[in-house]
Amino acid sequence: MTDRTMKAVLFDRYGDPDVLYVGRVPRPEPAPGEVLVRVRAFSVNGGELAARAGKIRLLTGRKFPKRVGLDFTGEVAALGTGTTAFAIGDRVWGVLGRTSGFGSAAEYVTVPADRIGRVPEGLDLVDAAALPVATTAVTALRDKVALRPGERLLVRGAAGGVGNAAVQLGHAYGAEVTALARAANLDFVRGLGATTALDHGTVRLPELGRFDVVLDTAGTGLPDFRRLLAPGGRMVTIAFDLTRPVGSLGYLAVSVRHGRGRVRAFSGNPKRTDFDDLARHVTEGKLAPAVDRVFPLAETAAAHRALEAGGVRGKYVVRVDQAPG
């Protein structure tokens, strides 16, 4: 009798990384317009740390067990009715959409066919798992602030998953990139293309000068960074302050609608065209995966713990090893 279950990373209560465990859940079947992906790897992202810890429980609720995992790489294992854009065996990457929640930390995941793209030939699927969230950096710099050659770009959180991609892309787009990161990571971000790399713990913001574009990945102290904008400058953030969520979200709501130098805020929700752009950037040599460390599925909790400790250089990636069949 065929086993229709699969391994997945679960948790039965909010808490620290130790609440995570590998259990078994029903293997999903693709609905019309969906694909079933055999997951080879995924990365650990800040949003799922907050969800696991219960910091956004008003959004995630109290129904357990819950899942983790936002992005993934793998191969198409089955096609839902009417799905023609992909074939079984295609190497793909993707990010679960806003309505899907978490769940890519598993042996299989279903996803709408318009939410994935093909991984460039020659790129290892484990290394590639560091890049799906880079679509956020692509969208931020391409669409939200329209970064232009010669402009001054400040990237806050430059060594992280989105930040390191923003540094690489900013350099490729011809901007002068200033990167804020931990002292231990300054050489790393310089190697990505930053013209200037500064320790975020000791830098005095008023002494930085003015920037045409500020990309923030932390969500805290936004008014201070907004003051760094030059006339006509643009700022985009992909986070809000979890220690004061109401005030932080309120500030963003007001800023988006009013005033010069408004702060644009968004969360990544990429579609196939965004993954096509991502693949093109990789193929053209503008963007490369930055993998700090690879963990096995059974050590997903350790990957969460490492990200919470800070100091990541790129992404922590979790490898999903599966038996044939």
CATH number for 143: 3.40.50.720
Residue 48 resides in a domain: yes
Q: How far apart are the C-alpha atoms of 208 and 228, rounded to whole Å?
A: 8
Same domain, 181 and 195: yes
Clarify whether residues 21 and 120 are in a common domain. yes
Q: Are 175 and 295 members of one domain?
A: no
**Sign of the CA dihedral running 188, 194, 195, 198:** negative
Do residues 72 and 96 share a domain? yes
Give a yes or no: residue 277 inside a domain.
no
Distance CA(25)–CA(47), nearest Å, equals: 23
Residues 21 and 65 reside in one and the same domain: yes
Same domain, 261 and 294: no
- Beta-carbon count within 10 A of 20 CB: 23
Pair 25, 121 in one domain: yes
- Residues near 131 by Cβ (< 8 Å), separated by ≥ 6? 93, 165, 278, 282, 287, 289
pLDDT of residue 160: 96
**Same domain, residue pair 26 and 82:** yes
* Domain stops at, among 250, 265, 280: 265
pLDDT at 281: 97
Closest CA to 41 of 301, 320, 315: 320
Separation of alpha carbons 3 and 6, rounded Å: 8
Name residue 221's amino acid: G
CA 9 – CA 29 distance, rounded (Å): 18
State how far the Cα of 268 lies from the Cα of 189, in Å rounded to an integer. Answer: 23
Q: Are 153 and 177 in contact (CB under 8 A)?
A: yes
Tell me the residue type at 77.
Answer: A
In a domain, residue 77? The reply is: yes
Which residues have C-beta within 8 Å of that of residue 170, sequence separation ≥ 6?
141, 147, 153, 155, 177, 193
Task: Specify whether the CB–CB gap between 228 and 154 falls below 8 A.
Answer: yes
Give dist(CA 167, CA 159) in Å, integer: 9
Asked whether residue 81 is assigned to any structural domain, the reply reads yes
Whether residue 276 lies inside any domain: the answer is no
Q: What is the pLDDT of residue 256?
A: 52
275 inside domain:
no
Contact 38, 325 (CB under 8 A): no
Cβ burial, residue 247 (10 Å; 0-12/13-18/19+): exposed
**What confidence score (pLDDT) does residue 320 get?**
98
Q: Note whether 275 and 135 are within 8 A (CB).
A: yes
Q: Give the H/E segment covering residue 192.
A: helix 186-192
- Tokens for 200, please give them: 């975020």
Question: Which residues form the domain of 120?
Answer: 5-130+290-319
- Look at residue 285 and tell me if it is in a domain: no
Is the separation of the CB atoms in 153 and 213 below 8 Å? yes
CA atoms within 13 A on the CB side of 203: 21
User: Do 114 and 138 reside in the same domain of the chain?
Assistant: no
Mean pLDDT by runs of 10 across the 325 residues of the chain is: 87 98 97 98 94 90 94 98 97 85 95 96 97 95 95 97 97 98 98 98 95 94 94 88 46 48 77 96 97 98 97 97 60
* CA–CA separation, 195 and 324 (whole Å): 47
Pair (117, 210) in one structural domain: no
Nearest to 50, CA basis, from 239, 260, 261 = 239
pTM for this model (two decimals): 0.91
Whether residue 226 sits in one domain with residue 141: yes
The per-residue pLDDT for 253 is: 46
Count structural domains, the chain. Answer: 2
- The length of the chain in residues reads 325
Rounded Cα distance between 106 and 297, Å, is: 8
Q: If DSSP codes are grouped into helix, strand and coil, which group holds residue 92?
A: strand
Does 142 share its domain with 255? Answer: yes
CATH number of the domain that residue 50 is part of: 3.90.180.10
Place of tokens 């752009």: 277
Asked whether residue 54 is domain-assigned, the answer is yes
